[in-house]
Amino acid sequence: MNKNTETTRITPHGQMEILSQFEVNELKQNSEHLGSYDIFRRCSLAVLNVGSIVDDTTQILQEYADFNIRVISQERGIKLEFENAPASAFVDGKVITGIQEQLFSVLRDIVYVKSEIEANRNFNLLSAEGITNAVFHILRNAKVLVPETDPNLVVCWGGHSINREEYDYTKTVGYELGLRGLNICTGCGPGAMKGPMKGAAIGHSKQRLYGGRYVGMTEPGIIAAESPNPIVNELVIMPDIEKRLEGFVRAGHGIVVFPGGVGTAEEILYILGVLLNPKNRSLPFPLILTGPESARNYFRQIDDFIKLTLGKEAQQHYQIIVNDAAMVAREISAGLDSVRMFRREHSDAYYFNWILEVDNGFQRPFMPTHENVAELEIHQDMDRHHLAANLRQVFSAIVAGNVKEDGIAAIKQHGPFEMRGDRNIMQSLDTLLKSFVDDCRMKIPGTSYLPCYQLIKD
């Protein structure tokens, strides 16, 4: 562990540079609020810890237990002051410019959500419309929504600890997307979140396309385990996993899914559940699952699980393309043409998918407590999109038990989550999860995995 123990002060770079004294005082007060400060500190540490291979939130927070950060008010605006930060964030004693930008993105998003969304009675965070409205305002405030541009933002999902062959393939796909002028949005971490951005940056450079967008969309519960990768040039922190997922599908125009683990499975179930909603039946949304030849069996297992649980209708919403990066890019480009035509015909915004119906079951924050997990209904006779919502929460609980501090603590105190459902579904789930463990998709390769779940088959 290597720290910079000196006190460091930085000024805003690229945003929050012109503030009134009222705004400065409000930022300082809100950042010092107990709940806000804890989240602010965690997310700031994650940004400063870029490049770390440690995916254990508890370990990171323990190693940097003496890290402190605070907002300093002055007549000309604000500064951030901190000490005991990771030394890797500095070059010759100065904080790397991209990290400076992201630190102020953290402050912007954490304070905005606390002061302008959660404390604002105009936002009904219990209704579907109110939650979507909140997602819109957070993304607009972060300048993620860009008007007067054709649909060109491709969301890329996948694991943060994939093997080298899979990582190289994500870069190749990103390169093909970049050559076609497409921008990238990921969960902002390493692995399948970094590769597409890196490849797209090269593709953009070759085509002499400047101003490429590499949007990282994360949330406080997972950012410490998936620190922003160095390619991210637009960071936005959504308040919870559900708003993060809705942010992906509202701002993005198509999705490419690479190999991953339970977090990736959660994302797949989310988008399929949304698309299975009868109100979205005619809405175009390109979705491609892809990886190198070595990942063929991985996608076969995912496809089998979807077929057994959600049925053939769900399979119609995605393509599986193995080991052909150029075809992935061509298919996504064709899909984006359909998205553009559809939104033009229906007078929907290019920058935010208002027409998409997101059921409230996909929006309500799911707290992965032992009680909540045990109460999840997993039955074949459920509506497919409701079953997808509950299965998504099963995977969300496993993610929490694997990498989130609160989830890890709950497992240590109470033992594994108990998950109950129809025998056939739970057997298929067990098979899929065992394959993730065998392929080292639950933890960084080389570490042992102790399941945080117990499946009970009715």
List Cβ neighbours of 356 (8 Å cut-off, separation of 6 or more).
249, 250, 274, 280, 283, 285
For residue 36, CA distances in Å to 234, 235, 357, 368 come to: 22, 18, 31, 21
Above 70 in pLDDT, residue 19? no
What proportion of the chain, given as a percentage, has pLDDT over 70? Answer: 91
Residue 157 pLDDT exceeds 80: yes
**151, 174, 285, 362 from 340: Cα distances, Å:** 6, 21, 10, 25
Q: Which residue has the higher pLDDT, 35 or 408?
A: 408
- pLDDT category at 171 given cuts 50, 70, 90 is very high
Considering just the CA atoms, what is the radius of gyration of the chain in Å?
A: 21
Q: 3-class DSSP state for residue 63?
A: helix
Q: Which of 111, 351, 135 is nearest to 240 (CA)?
A: 135
Query: Across residues 114-142, what is the average pLDDT?
Result: 89
Higher-confidence residue of 426 and 1: namely 426
3-state secondary structure 436-455: HHHCCCCCCCCCCCCCCEEE
pLDDT of residue 119: 80
- Residue 446, pLDDT above cutoff 60: no
pLDDT band, very low/low/confident/very high, at 41 (cuts 50, 70, 90) = confident
Backbone angles phi and psi of 94, in degrees to 5: -115, 140
d(CA 108, CA 139): 11
How far apart, in Å, are the Cα atoms of 255 and each of 245, 272, 323?
Answer: 12, 11, 17
Q: What is the DSSP string of 272-328?
A: HHHHHSGGGTT----EEEEE-GGGHHHHHHHHHHHHHHH-HHHHTT-EEEES-HHHH
Report the C-alpha gap between 286 and 319 in whole angstroms. Answer: 9
Q: What is the pLDDT of residues 79-106, one digit of tens each?
A: 889 999 988 899 998 999 999 999 989 8
Q: What is the band of 71 on the pLDDT scale with cuts at 50, 70, 90?
A: confident
Using alpha carbons, select from 291, 287, 286 the residue that is nearest to residue 259.
291
Categorize the per-residue pLDDT at 51 as very low, low, confident or very high, splitting at 50, 70 and 90.
low
Q: What is the pLDDT averaged over residues 390-415?
A: 90
State the average pLDDT over residues 164-170. Answer: 96
pLDDT tops 90 at residue 136: yes
Task: Check: CB of residue 224 under 8 Å from CB of residue 45.
Answer: yes
Structure tokens of 392? 């998504």
Report CA torsion sign: 395, 401, 403, 404.
Answer: positive
How many C-beta neighbours within 10 Å does residue 34 have?
6
The Cα–Cα gap between 416 and 412 comes to 8
Write down the pLDDT at residue 1: 60
- Average pLDDT (14-29) is 68
- The pLDDT score that the predictor gives to residue 236 is 96
Per-residue pLDDT, 20: 66
Q: For 329-334, what is the mean pLDDT?
A: 98
Q: What is the pLDDT of residues 239-274, one digit of tens each?
A: 999 999 999 999 999 999 999 999 999 999 999 999
Question: Per-residue pLDDT for 34 more than 70?
Answer: no
Q: Determine the pLDDT at residue 64.
A: 86
What is the CA 438 to chain-centroid distance, rounded?
Answer: 24
Residue-wise pLDDT for 183-194, tens only, equals: 999 999 899 999
Least confident of 78-82, 164-168, 206-210, 445-449: 445-449
User: What domains are there in the chain, each with its CATH number?
Assistant: 3-120 (3.30.1850.10), 146-345 (3.40.50.450), 364-457 (no CATH)
Buried b vs exposed e over 304-327: b needs ≥16 C-beta within 10 Å?
ebbebbbeeebeebbbbbbebbeb
Amino acid type, 373: V
pLDDT for the residue numbered 161: 82
Q: Where are the beta strands (DSSP E) in 21-140?
A: 68-74, 77-83, 85-86, 90-91, 94-95
Banded pLDDT at 29 (limits 50, 70, 90): confident
Cα separation, 59 vs 77, whole angstroms: 35
Helix/strand/coil for 164: helix
Confidence category of residue 220, pLDDT binned at 50, 70, 90: confident
Chain mean pLDDT for the chain: 90
HSE, CB side, 13 Å, CA atoms: give it for residue 27: 24
